[in-house]
């Protein structure tokens, strides 16, 4: 029977999810890496982690908008590792939706990935997490409290995820702790959504005068999963102080 804590990280093939997976692995966790389309990237990361500690990582593919497939993935993780101690709901769609142009497809994508999937993944994982006295960490956003202009559906979805974090803390207590991390400017989107002028404006709003690193979020996630046994129902902002000005 595996005695190391097992954590499922969604959207773990790249960027923030990969940083969270690496950090938790370095802290001694075995990692279940979820991916949707980045199978090759996930395989490379699994190989990297297993080279450090054999048998400590495995990849699981699923489209989280397909709830049956998402929940089957949780079952597969449980069968593979024999336990589950943590769930990090990191996978997220992020794109603008001008209010006048909001359509059902954008709603399904943004609310589906940022709110619906975390709910049903948490529901399926709850018995396994209760058995290990485990924890859930949701990756929220500072714009859950302060909506981002031009991103109404994304902001609404993250507001819902913030609320879900507190709801789950109530529903799953006392066996499972549930918290959230709310990032500020950590890594700029790769598709150029924020031009140089917008990036500079955001940095000026940030008390620490710089963007953060994915490792800043990964450290906060590890703290809430592994080092905070008396913390539940909380949202930790990791934003360099930007939310003070918003």
**What SS3 state is found at 239?**
coil
* DSSP label of 148: P
The sheet carrying 235-238 orders its strands as 57-61, 30-35, 6-9, 86-89, 135-139, 177-183, 235-238
Structure token pair of residue 200: 């500079």
d(CA 240, CA 236): 12
Q: Where are the alpha helices (DSSP H) in the chain?
A: 15-26, 39-52, 67-81, 104-111, 117-132, 152-172, 196-205, 214-226
DSSP string, 77-117: HHHHHS---EEEE---------GGG--HHHHHHHHIIIIIH
Residues sharing a CB contact under 8 Å with residue 89, sequence separation 6 or more, in sequence order:
10, 117, 118, 121, 122, 136, 137, 138, 139, 161
d(CA 112, CA 108): 5
Question: Does residue 35 carry a catalytic annotation?
Answer: no
Residue tagged 């997490």 (tokens): 129
| Catalytic member of 35, 151, 154, 230 | 154
Catalytic machinery residues: 154
């Amino acid at each position: 029977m595996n005695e190391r804590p097992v954590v499922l990280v969604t959207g773990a093939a790249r960027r923030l999810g990969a940083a969270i997976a690496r950090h938790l692995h370095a802290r001694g966790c075995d990692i279940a890496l979820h991916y949707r389309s980045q199978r090759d990237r996930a395989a490379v990361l699994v190989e990297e982690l297993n080279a450090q500690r054999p048998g400590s990582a495995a990849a699981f593919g699923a489209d989280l908008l397909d709830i049956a497939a998402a929940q089957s993935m949780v079952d597969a993780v449980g069968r593979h590792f024999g336990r589950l101690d943590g769930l990090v709901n990191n996978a997220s769609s992020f794109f603008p939706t001008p209010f006048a142009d909001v359509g059902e497809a954008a709603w399904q994508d943004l609310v589906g990935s940022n709110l619906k999937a975390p709910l049903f993944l948490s529901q399926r994982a709850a018995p396994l997490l209760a058995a290990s006295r485990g924890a859930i960490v949701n990756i929220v956003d500072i714009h859950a409290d302060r909506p981002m202009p031009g991103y109404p559906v994304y902001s609404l979805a993250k507001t819902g995820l913030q609320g879900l974090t507190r709801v789950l803390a109530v529903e799953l207590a006392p066996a499972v702790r549930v918290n959230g991390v709310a990032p500020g400017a950590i890594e700029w989107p790769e598709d150029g959504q924020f031009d140089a002028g917008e990036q500079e404006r955001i940095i000026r709003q940030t008390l620490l005068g710089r963007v953060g690193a994915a490792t800043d979020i990964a450290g906060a996630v590890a703290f809430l999963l592994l080092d905070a046994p008396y913390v539940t129902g909380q949202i930790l902002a990791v934003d360099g102080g930007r939310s003070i000005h918003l």
